[in-house]
Amino acid sequence: MPDITIGSNYFCHGTSIRLEGPCNGFVISDNIVRNAHVGFVVIRNAQGSGAHSITGNVVRQSVWRDEGHEPPVGGIVLGDGTGCNVVGNLFDNALSRPAITAGPGGGKHIISSNNIVNMDGEQILVKDAPDCLVSENLINGTRC
């Protein structure tokens, strides 16, 4: 399923967007998300596909929790996807899991200029996802 835009929606509860299996070129932008406790965007079994652009979304007041999923759920889970851009998103008051995770597998992502506020602990987790650029993100007002 290539070249699909998911934009300007309001999502509440569960998993907002789940991309499973080989797929390329999704644009996910300008959405408002609340209480996505299984994740806002979750990529699984991508088998090296990706090239998704996830930009300008507002993820608020979510209570994410692990419900036995591997890898752990969070706001944006890139899993084994490749070459995704996660830029300019706002995460506010989301609890217990990282706002953005990449890997294991995949890689070559750009994770930049995201604003993560009112959240404790490690919020950007890149594990076994090579060649990722993580820069200019703010976590509770601290640049990382």
DSSP string, 103-136: -SS-B--EEES-EEES--S--EEE-S--S-EEES
Average pLDDT, rounded, for the chain: 87
Average pLDDT over residues 14-38: 89
pTM for this predicted structure: 0.89
Domain that holds residue 81: 5-143
How many domains, in total, are found in the chain? 1
Average pLDDT over residues 115-130: 92
Q: Show the CA angle centred on residue 86, arms to residues 125 and 31, nearest 5°.
A: 115
The token pair that represents 34 in the structure block: 């609340």
- pLDDT beyond 50 at 33: yes
Residue 35 or residue 113, greater confidence: 113
With CA atoms as reference, report the closest residue to 105 among 88, 125, 129, 121: 129
In our burial notation (b when 16+ CB lie closer than 10 A, e otherwise), range 111-128 reads beebbbbebeeebbbbee
Residue 39 or residue 5, greater confidence: 5
- pLDDT beyond 70 at 72: no
Contact 86, 109 (CB under 8 A): yes
